[in-house]
Amino acid sequence: MKNMCEHKEMKKEHAGCAVLVTSDTRTKETDETGKEAIKLLEENGHKVYGYEIVKNDRKTIKETIQKFLNDHRIDVIITSGGTGISFKDQTYEAVIELLEKRIEGFGELFRRLSYEEIGEISILSRATAGTVGKKVIFTLPGSKGAVELGLKRIILPVLGHMLWEVNR
């Protein structure tokens, strides 16, 4: 049986994207995760229209995501950082408050694949995904390895089909 994501008529080829990095210490000069996400998205034919680094502050994170949601060019928002269980980790809370539909399988698969790479500590990740209107948000942990894993192994292979689904 042919993989559904291979059907051209059920796939949006290119997406407008935004990347949000949550960190109290990184700058655009020192950030590796956001740059890696942008590189991978662009190598796969997607266009990045927004890139921000904000502090671990729920209100600021939410406001930045809302700005991206209001940009008609942006279909997908990728976040990096703030998905752990530390008191300072606020990305998960900010995103969950905005989501209309959750994509539970993303976090489950991300933790499963992470387990293969880093072991039991993968359970500390609160990576998640969901939709707001016709836009998709993915939250990833703040390491370069997590961004590569999430994008290469999960997001990029299904993104076209996912956008087709959310827009029909």
* pLDDT tens by residue, 146-157: 999 999 999 999
Nearest C-alpha neighbor of 34 from the set 77, 90, 65, 97: 77
List the helix and strand counts (H, then E) for the chain.
6, 6
Q: Name the pLDDT band for 4 (thresholds 50, 70, 90).
A: very low
Residue 3 lies in a domain: no
Q: Judge whether residue 25 has pLDDT over 80.
A: yes
Q: What is the chain's mean pLDDT, rounded?
A: 93
> Is residue 91 situated within a structural domain?
yes
Residue 52 belongs to some domain of the structure:
yes
**SS3 (DSSP) at 27:** coil
Share of the chain above pLDDT 70, in %: 93
Q: Is residue 12 part of a domain?
A: no
Quickly count: other Cβ atoms within 10 Å of residue 82's Cβ. Answer: 30
Residue 157 lies in a domain: no
In a domain, 15, yes or no: no
CA distances to 15, 47, 147 from 41, in Å: 9, 7, 11
Please check the confidence at residue 6 and state whether its pLDDT lies above 90: no
- The confidence band for 1, taking pLDDT boundaries of 50, 70 and 90, is very low
Residues 6 or more apart whose Cβ sits within 8 Å of residue 73: 16, 47, 49
The boundaries of the domain holding residue 49 are 34-151
Check which CATH number belongs to the domain holding 82 and give it: 3.40.980.10
Token pair for 102: 């959750």
**Overall number of domains in the chain:** 1
